[in-house]
A = this chain, B = another copy of it.
Amino acid sequence: MVNETKGLLVVISGPSGAGKGTICKKLMEKNNFWLSVSATTRSPRAGEENAKSYYFLTRDEFEEKIKCNDFLEYAEVYGNLYGTPRSSVMEMIDNGKNVILEIDIQGALKVKEAFPEGVFIFILPPSMEELKNRIIGRGSETPESLMTRFKSAYKEINYVSKYNYAVVNDEVALAVEKIQGILVAEKCRVDRIKEDILDNKEGIVHEQFYD
C-alpha cells in the first residue's frame, strides 16, 4: 500500500570535533548507505581514485557544472573548488539508496536550500568540555588556534535550529542507533508518503467495489 522504496539524502553535519567522521564511517558499515562522492578541481593525491575518493574535474568542467546547476552546494577552499554533484546523489536516491553527506555547517545550509526534503542531522558533542578535549586530542594546535577553533565551534552550535534533528555523540554506537531510528521514522512520515497511500487506496478499492 505504501511505496517506501525511495532513498533519503541524510546530511550529517555539526561543529568540528563533534565526531561526524566516525559516525559516518559506522553508518557506512550498515546496509543500504552510500557516501556521496564530492567533485573537486584539486589534483589527485597518491592512492586517490577518480569517482571513489573524488570526481576529479578541471576548473572548466567544474564551472560548466556550476552553470548547469549540477551542484547541491560548492565552495572554493585555498584556490580549489569542491562540490556535491546533484545528479549522482539523485540517481542513488531514485534507486532506493540512502545517501550520506558529511559536510560542514555552511555547506549543509546550502544543501538545505537546494534540497529541503533531505534529512538534516546536527551532531553535538556531549559537552563543550569534551569538545575541547577532542580538539586538544588531535594535537598540532597552538593554544591560540585551539581557542579560535573552540570559539568557532561554540558559535556554530547556534545553527542547530536550522536542522531537523540533533544527536548527541557521547557514544558512537548509540548515536548511530539514533540516526537509524531517525531514518525509520522519516520513511513513515506522512508528508513523504501521503500521496502513495491515497493513490494506492483509491486503486485497490476501485478495483474491488466499483468496477
Q: Which residues of A are interface residues toward B (Cβ below 8 A)? A: 1-2, 121-122, 124-129, 132, 154, 157-158, 160-161, 163-168, 177-178, 180-186, 188-190, 193-194, 197-198, 201, 204-205, 208
Q: Are A188 and B197 in contact (CB under 8 A)?
A: no
Please indicate the chain B residues that have their CB under 8 angstroms from the CB of A183 in the complex.
Answer: 181
Q: Are A1 and B197 in contact (CB under 8 A)?
A: no
Interchain CB contact (< 8 A) of A184 among B1, B124, B181? B181
**With A158-B198, A181-B184 known to touch, is A189 a contact of B165 (CB < 8 Å)?**
yes
Please indicate the chain B residues that have their CB under 8 angstroms from the CB of A121 in the complex.
Answer: 188
* In the complex, residue of chain B having the shortest beta-carbon distance to the beta carbon of A181: B184
Q: How far is the CB of A161 from chain B (nearest CB, A)?
A: 5
Give complex CA distance A69, B164 in Å.
33
Please indicate the chain B residues that have their CB under 8 angstroms from the CB of A177 in the complex.
Answer: 184
**With A1-B125, A129-B208, A204-B129 known to touch, is A182 a contact of B188 (CB < 8 Å)?**
yes
Q: Are A157 and B201 in contact (CB under 8 A)?
A: yes
Q: Which residue, of A132, A180, A185, has the highest number of chain B Cβ atoms within 10 A?
A: A185
Give 17 pairs: A residue, B residue, CB < 8 Å, sorted on A.
A1-B124, A132-B208, A154-B201, A160-B194, A161-B190, A161-B194, A164-B189, A165-B185, A165-B188, A165-B190, A166-B188, A166-B194, A167-B188, A177-B184, A178-B188, A181-B188, A182-B184
Give complex CA distance A178, B161 in Å.
26
What are the nearest 3 A-B pairs in CB distance?
Answer: A181-B184, A185-B185, A181-B181
